[in-house]
Structure 1
Amino acid sequence: MNLTAFNDFIKSTFGNLVEQFKENDEYGYNNPRSQDIIQVGFTTNLTPDVIRKAVDNKVQFIITHHDAWDFLYEVREQCMQDLIDNEISHFYIHLPLDCAEFGTCNSLLHEIGISKITQQTHYEDNHEIIGIGDYNEPIAFEELVDRISNALAEDVKAWKNSNTTIKKVGVVTGAGNSTDLIRQAKEAECDVYITGEKSLYSVQYAKFAGINLIVGSHTFTEIFGVKSLVERLKAAFNEIETIYLEEEHVE
């Protein structure tokens, strides 16, 4: 595989999502290099620690959900230099992966055993619309908390604001702490809302609205979408080797 073939794969895999969202803001490359790629590493975030793991595993190409953020002062500059010094290319894909049929939200819903996706996460008039999935049979809130904790391999935060069993689940992976999103889940009659970040306001509003709330980490609520993308990449290019560059549970 080379970057030309990879770019064709991204366009065919994401279709109009790469047109809907702006390149370089929501997806793109850092230090693109014209070489044959065999070793592909993947994870949620681009950090100096991730690049060190890539170097240790002789990775030539890193795929992440997030680019290195400018507001983490000097971290982005360090990442860019580390990529150059170690001759590693990097590709990130954010909102297109969130909104893809196999993307972050749907992958998490499938990971916790949802029977049917009834609403696809998407953007409408520049507003994020939550994903929704249903269980065939209701489960206890506590069982869902255990499922998510086991899937993410981390303790999650949970607020039981209703005694109802769980059948309809609303989700936005990552930074879905907006009260607007929780309100969508309430109006859609979801029994629980799941996301990857919280604030005082999200906790207060979920309690007021009487909707159960479960919050994991930003990193690990989104990793399943990255894994799904890489599985598709491996199916398209069976000569590559894919390596999970697992991050620490720091959140």
Structure 2
Amino acid sequence: MVSLQEIVTYLDEELRIGDIPDYSGAVNGLQLENGGTVTKVAAAVDASLSVVQAAVAEGADLLVVHHGMFWQGTQPLTRAFYKKIKTAMDGGLAIYSAHLPLDVHPVLGNNALLMSALGFEPSGSFMDYKGLKVGLTVETVISRDELVRRVVASVGGPVHLSPGGPEDIRKIGVVTGGAGSEIAICTREGIDTFITGEGPHWSYPLAEELGVNLLYAGHYATETFGVKALAERLSRVFGLATAFIDRPTGL
């Protein structure tokens, strides 16, 4: 049994919660407290009702997620939102969320871990968000077909390719999640291949026009890495049992 506050303090410092800018609805950090202690940690991408129900059923008293409970902004505590909060509180489940702080972490981050799964060591960063570089780059020599095979193996699912760039790749950019609308930035950075989760329809023809290979590997699939690593870190540091709650969206 570990103090919730001790875990929160550790996570806030490790993830630099107070220093990393983010969308206001992310509400990074502790979103819901419990009675004050933790014995088991559940990890998931989204703090959805089904995830909260599964976490309580697992006997977890702390849920760490990438997408927290307040993405839609202020809303009344009614219907599904009320049920989610009540389920968590009745089950003694605290909820901690880390969005961009988890994306950009050099060890536990989604970007860094996807790069590692692909067999690369990042050599640079790109894509500015409020003064923060949210993406990673690597200069390498690899065929497009081989890279697609590696991405499929890394995320364990399909990859949608817009083959607008060269077959022989020289510079790759990675931003997990939904960064497809930012593809134009790649050309300014000399990136010929961009890997992300998802994006708008128009990004496909734009990739062709810009001469960039665009790989959509799934918003959900590219963002399972960080929460899994975070739960493993908490298990190692605090000796807690962990569980990963898999609720893929197919997006």
Q: TM-score range by the shorter chain?
A: 0.7 to 0.9
Q: CA RMSD in A?
A: 2.4
1:118 matched to 2:123? The reply is yes
Kindly provide the amino acid, as one letter, of the partner of residue 55 in structure 2: A
When residues 195 and 246 of structure 1 are mapped into structure 2, their CA distance, relative to the original with a 3 A threshold, is: same
- How do residues 44-63 of structure 1 correspond to structure 2 at under 5 angstroms? 44-63=45-64
The answer for the alignment partner of 2:138 in structure 1 is 133
22-31 or 224-233: bigger deviation: 22-31
Indicate the residue corresponding to 1:228 in structure 2. 229
**Would you say the 8 A contact 1:47–1:75 is kept in 2?**
no
| 1:199-240 alpha-carbon deviations (Å, 9 max, x no partner) | 122112111101001002111111112222223222221x20
Deviations 1:65-113 (A, max 9, x none): 1112453985443322221222211100111112221211111111111
The match for 1:168 among 167, 171, 176 is 171
Secondary structure of 1:117's partner? Answer: coil
| Closer, same or farther: CA 127–40 of 1 in aligned 2, 3 Å | closer
Say how many residue pairs are matched: 244
Indicate the residue corresponding to 1:147 in structure 2. 150
- Displacement, 1:141? 1.1
Q: Check whether the contact 2:103–2:134 (CA below 8 A) recurs between aligned residues.
A: no
Q: Distance in 1 between matches of 2:166 and 2:20?
A: 40
| Fraction of identical pairs, as percent | 23
**In structure 2, distance between residues paired with 1:126 and 1:201:** 27
| Cross-structure match for 2:87 | 82
- Whole-angstrom CA distance in 1 between matches of 2:80 and 2:126: 30
Structure 1 letter corresponding to 2:111:
C
Gaps of at least 5 residues in structure 2 are: none
1:185 equivalent in structure 2: 186
Aligned residue for 1:65, secondary structure, equals: strand
Pair 127,204 (structure 1): closer, same or farther in 2 beyond 3 Å = farther
Q: Residue 75 and residue 202 in structure 1: after superposition, are their counterparts in 2 closer, same or farther (change >3 A)?
A: farther
Match for residue 244 of structure 2? Answer: 244
Aligned residue for 1:9?
10
Matched AA of 2:217: G
Match in the other structure for 2:200: 199
Partner of 2:105: 100
Does structure 2 conserve the Cα–Cα contact (< 8 Å) formed by 1:39 and 1:59? yes
Query: CA 1:169–1:66 in 2, change beyond 3 Å: closer, same or farther?
Result: same
* SS of residue matched to 2:64: strand
Change (3 A) 1:122 1:77: farther
The 2-side partners of 1:228 and 1:120 are apart by 21
Q: Partner of 1:19 in structure 2?
A: 19
Specify the SS of the correspondent of 1:53: helix
Structure-2 residue corresponding to 1:158: 161
Deviation (angstroms), 1:249 = 4.3
In terms of mean alpha carbon deviation, does 123-132 or 209-218 score higher?
Answer: 123-132
